Amino acid sequence: MKASLTWIGKALAVWLALLAGNVIGGLLIGMPVMEIPQDGPLTLGVAFPLTNALFALVLAALASRMPGPAWRRIAILFLILFTTETLLSVIESVFFADYLHLPAGLLASMTGIGAVKAVLGALAAGLLWRPDGPTPPVPTGLAWKIPAIVASYVVVYFGAGHLIAWQSATLRAYYGDGLAFNDAGLVLLQIGRGLIWAGLVLLAACSLHGSTRARAVLTGAAFSIFMASSLLYPNGFMPWAVRSVHLVEIATSNFLFGVVAILILASRRGLDRKNRGDAATTAA
């Protein structure tokens, strides 16, 4: 009971650090003035604490499974949170800027505020949890596993886009039925984002201890919640009818990708091949 209450208390501290990061980042960097309609199931006043509470729970779960020095834990938590929530989303938003009609300076402000928030959240979680145990080893067979992870991301991204997002007539209309899409550019963009995702998966695999199943589920949950939760915020450039479809699409596809990617890294194919090669060399 005491351990559970302590864990909850630490998670609350992380939640407060994330809230403070948003506020401090906003004061330091500022946001463009824009109208925020009451669109969707949540008001801004509800979405703000709720999404940060989800982030805090995931950061707490990650930090509690990350042995090693505090600086390493803080750095990894920052990279996973900032890259997933902010950087990867900003990269894609730039590509779809013609459809989003974002206010000038919004993406730069989001990047700065996201960085401040990720720093404070990672500091809190990294310092409050100090799990024991050895640091997980670097997976073997990366020469084939990294390309496989990138390929799996591209497949999951376009598969979810076709099977979930593009089934919505409202979403298709929002993007002009995709008639102006640069298809080759979009594929290249997702390959590049897939490489970044692969780096995050490798970070998770080399820092989280526990069973493969537990690490896969936790990684998938982090990728899903960190990126999809921002769609709960009402805004003036993407209506809820579109955001809700993207919410389901991203939450589903990112979770699936995270699970599959960890399973790929956990495969012993590369290790078994290395062992066979070493055995053959010894026998010779």
Q: pLDDT category, 39, cuts 50, 70, 90? A: confident
Contact 193, 224 (CB under 8 A): no
What is the share, in percent, of the chain residues with pLDDT greater than 70?
94
Rg (CA), the chain: 20
Q: Looking at residue 33, what is its pLDDT?
A: 78
Residue 280: pLDDT above 80? no
Q: pTM score, two decimals?
A: 0.92
Token pair for 282: 């010894």
Q: What is the DSSP track for 202-254?
A: HHHHTT--S-HHHHHHHHHHHHHHHHHGGGGS--SSS-HHHHHHHHHHHHHHH
Task: Please choose, from the candidates 264, 252, 192, the residue with its C-alpha nearest in 3D space to the C-alpha of residue 228.
Answer: 252
Contact residues for 14 (Cβ-Cβ < 8 A; gap 6+): 56, 59, 60, 121, 124, 125, 128
Q: Looking at residue 271, what is its pLDDT?
A: 40
Contact 103, 16 (CB under 8 A): no
Contact 197, 59 (CB under 8 A): no
CA end-to-end span of the chain: 59
29: left (phi over 0), alpha (psi -120 to 50) or beta: alpha
- Using CA atoms, how far apart are residues 233 and 243, in angstroms rounded to an integer? 9
Tell me the mean pLDDT in the region 248-260.
Answer: 98
Average pLDDT of the chain, as a whole number: 92
Residue 275: pLDDT above 80? no
Task: Please choose, from the candidates 226, 229, 221, the residue with its C-alpha nearest in 3D space to the C-alpha of residue 259.
Answer: 221
Residue 278: pLDDT above 80? no
Per-domain residue ranges of the chain: 2-283
Contact 109, 31 (CB under 8 A): yes
What tens digit of pLDDT does each residue of 174-232 get?
999 998 899 999 999 999 999 999 999 999 999 999 999 999 999 999 999 999 999 99
What tens digit of pLDDT does each residue of 118-139 get?
999 999 999 999 998 888 889 9
Q: pLDDT category, 233, cuts 50, 70, 90? A: very high
Q: pLDDT category, 102, cuts 50, 70, 90? A: confident
- Using CA atoms, how far apart are residues 219 and 197, in angstroms rounded to an integer? 11
Q: pLDDT category, 104, cuts 50, 70, 90? A: confident
Token pair for 27: 């004061």
Token pair for 159: 């598969």
φ, ψ for residue 181, nearest 5 deg: -65, 140
